[in-house]
Amino acid sequence: MYRGPPILTFAEIDSTNLEARRQMDAGVEGPLWITAGRQTAGRGRRGRNWQTEEGNLAATLLLTTPKAPIEAAQIAFVAALAVSDLAAAYVPAPLVTLKWPNDTLIGGRKASGILVESTARPAGGLWLAVGIGVNLAHAPEDVERPATSFAAYLIGPPPPSLEALGILSSAMEHWRGLWESAGFAPIAEAWTARAHGLGERCVARLPAETIEGIAEGLDADGALRLQLTDGSLRRVTAGDVFF
């Protein structure tokens, strides 16, 4: 039996994150899941389009937090752990890894995306909209990073989106509760245990430059530490990383 936050379901919508914004404007504080069978204007990180085909999961968790914006942004790592738990419920767990900052990979290919947006509350603190897209049945083609779906690893059909959301919600409540009670340290430890590419050479495309180095691990705030070719260390707080 489902015991998580309420779920608001749409057959089709422009974007679950946009609906979260409308719910915020109406004064809803959550936690509330918003999901849709199809999005017509889904968005990913850095303004990219996010395709939601029938059979995939598109959902946004709307909630409030008293945390400051920098600390609140850590919820992207919380969500990544929850998505990786969802993936491991259906495909062999050793195939599931996390790529900085919050991509869940299956067999080294991207299977999900997370977009966190925040808005200041008049009463203080923040609204958070944690948008999550998971390739259950279909993977996009002609994308910069190779993608895959749960279906590619299953003999039978992929899970229905609401079934998957139930598992995701339960995992999200677990990791969010740990984050709120114990801080970011246990989240960073769990993320590192599932990390893809640590110790390997990578290219980081930052807003104003592209750098190369060895991915060493997470800093205490979630930044990625890179050791550059000259031996210096560089903290990456925003950008795309390719291994």
Question: Per-residue pLDDT averaged across 137-145, rounded?
Answer: 79
Q: How many CB atoms lie within 10 A of CB 106?
A: 25
Alpha helices in 69-160 (DSSP H): 69-72, 75-88
Confidence of residue 171 (pLDDT cuts 50, 70, 90): very high
- The pLDDT of residue 208: 81
Give backbone dihedrals phi and psi of 99, rounded to 5 degrees, phi first.
-110, 135
Q: What is the pLDDT of residues 31-80, one digit of tens each?
A: 999 999 988 876 655 445 556 678 999 999 999 999 999 999 999 999 99
- What pTM was computed for the model? 0.92
- The pLDDT of residue 42: 62
Q: Give the separation between CA 136 and CA 157, rounded to whole angstroms.
A: 9
CATH topology (fold) of 7-193: BirA Bifunctional Protein; domain 2 (3.30.930)
In sign, the C-alpha dihedral spanning 179, 185, 186, 187 is: positive
DSSP 176: H
Residues of the chain with CATH 2.30.30.100: 201-242
Q: What is the pLDDT of residues 186-238, one digit of tens each?
A: 999 999 999 998 888 988 888 888 888 888 888 888 888 888 888 888 898 88
Residues of the chain with CATH 3.30.930.10: 7-193
How many residues comprise the chain?
Answer: 243
Q: Is 178 helix (H, G, I), strand (E, B) or coil?
A: helix
Q: Give the separation between CA 55 and CA 62, rounded to whole angstroms.
A: 22
Architecture of domain 201-242: Roll (2.30)
Residue 108 has pLDDT above 90, yes or no: yes
- The pLDDT of residue 79: 98
Q: Specify the residue for token string 């769990």.
A: 190
Q: CA of 186: how far to CAs of 83, 153, 175, 176, in Å? A: 17, 30, 9, 11
- The pLDDT of residue 8: 97
